[in-house]
């Protein structure tokens, strides 16, 4: 192949088609557990994170709820993945050999939000949320009291019941029940069988399973620990986690003859880049157990 600007534009178009097809063929699941928030600057401050208010009887003047009790900020980060195509491969009409690399580029770009969101969930025992406590903690301040959304029990029927009861019993700073109903159990592959015993089995040891169907199961391969598990409430307007999207993944190239990568290294460069980050929402909508005790 004679390398011309027209030929390079054709290669870009072909690679872009491969990238988009691979990108759109993926099915990321981060929106199950994270609210997608568009971002317009280098960072976003979530001042409204804090207490969860409720309706009250209107007696006297309106009671203005304070929604600015937090300075929790999520800073956007840049992400990229790049591949190089040797100039000789173009001259020798070997471009098709690079299609799998471009496909993997598209797949990685599409699934990257999952990596951010579930990675953050797994780090909830050490990373802090809007109230200055770790996301999963035993001493979240609620008015003058403390509340817990953290456990240490291994996944079992009793541990699941405890977590469910804990979430459904939470109150706001005025003592009003939040009426949160957990609906999603997130587990690593090592705990899939235990999760199905709890939520899918009709009977357990000959006894009717009263917890059957009380939540869905999501098995997440990205969870590094084989013991930690998470119970989430995902049906409210704000989910437990936040995916902050500044710029969607975009396919780009650097193929001009005058570019250093072409002139010095005879490499045509193709890649994808995006901008965004993940952060914590309301801790009240999540319960995490590190599974360290029986």
Taking only the tens place, the pLDDT of each residue in 220-257 is: 999 988 999 999 999 998 999 999 999 999 999 988 87
Taking only the tens place, the pLDDT of each residue in 61-109 is: 555 445 445 678 999 999 999 999 888 877 877 888 889 999 999 999 9
Domain count, the chain: 1
β-sheet bridge partners, residue 251: 272
What pairing do the DSSP bridges indicate for beta strands 140-142 and 286-293?
unpaired
Q: What interhelical angle do 5-24 and 99-122 show, nearest 10? A: 40
Q: Average the pLDDT over 251-279 and give the result.
A: 89
Taking only the tens place, the pLDDT of each residue in 139-171 is: 999 989 999 999 999 999 999 999 999 999 999
Taking only the tens place, the pLDDT of each residue in 249-261 is: 999 998 887 788 8
- Is the model more confident about 263 or about 270? 270
Distance from C-alpha of 196 to C-alpha of 96, rounded to nearest angstrom: 44
Q: Average the pLDDT over 190-217 and give the result.
A: 95
Q: Which of 168, 159, 286 is nearest to 233 (CA)?
A: 286
In this structure, what CATH number is given to the domain that contains residue 33? 3.90.1690
Range of the domain at 68: 5-55+64-293
Helix (H) or strand (E) holding 18: helix 5-24
Distance from C-alpha of 20 to C-alpha of 266, rounded to nearest angstrom: 26
Cα-to-chain-centroid distance, residue 159: 24
């Amino acid at each position: 192949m004679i390398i011309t600007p027209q030929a390079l534009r054709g290669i870009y178009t072909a690679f872009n088609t491969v990238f988009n097809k691979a990108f759109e063929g993926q099915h990321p699941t981060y929106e199950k557990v994270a609210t997608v928030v568009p971002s317009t600057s280098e960072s976003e401050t979530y001042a409204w994170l804090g207490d969860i208010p409720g309706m009250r009887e209107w007696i006297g003047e309106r009671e203005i709820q304070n929604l600015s009790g937090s300075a929790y900020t999520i800073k956007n980060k840049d992400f990229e993945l790049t591949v190089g195509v040797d100039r000789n491969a173009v001259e020798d009409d070997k471009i098709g050999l690079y299609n799998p690399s471009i496909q993997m580029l598209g797949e990685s770009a599409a699934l990257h939000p999952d990596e951010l969101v579930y990675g953050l969930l797994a780090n909830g025992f050490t990373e802090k949320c809007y109230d200055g406590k770790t996301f999963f903690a035993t001493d979240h301040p609620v008015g003058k009291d403390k509340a817990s959304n953290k456990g240490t029990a291994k996944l079992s029927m009793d541990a699941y019941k405890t977590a469910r009861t804990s979430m459904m019993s939470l109150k706001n700073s005025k003592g009003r029940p939040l009426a949160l109903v957990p609906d999603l159990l997130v587990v690593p592959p090592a705990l899939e069988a235990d999760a199905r015993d709890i939520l899918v089995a009709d009977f357990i040891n000959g006894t009717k399973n009263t917890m059957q169907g009380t939540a869905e199961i999501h098995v997440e391969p990205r969870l590094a620990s084989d013991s930690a598990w998470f119970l989430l409430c995902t049906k409210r307007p704000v989910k437990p986690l936040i995916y902050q999207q500044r710029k969607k993944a975009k396919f780009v190239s650097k193929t001009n003859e005058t570019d250093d990568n072409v002139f010095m290294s005879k490499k045509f460069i193709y890649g994808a880049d995006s901008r965004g980050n993940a952060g914590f929402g309301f801790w009240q909508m999540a319960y995490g157990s590190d599974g360290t005790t029986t």
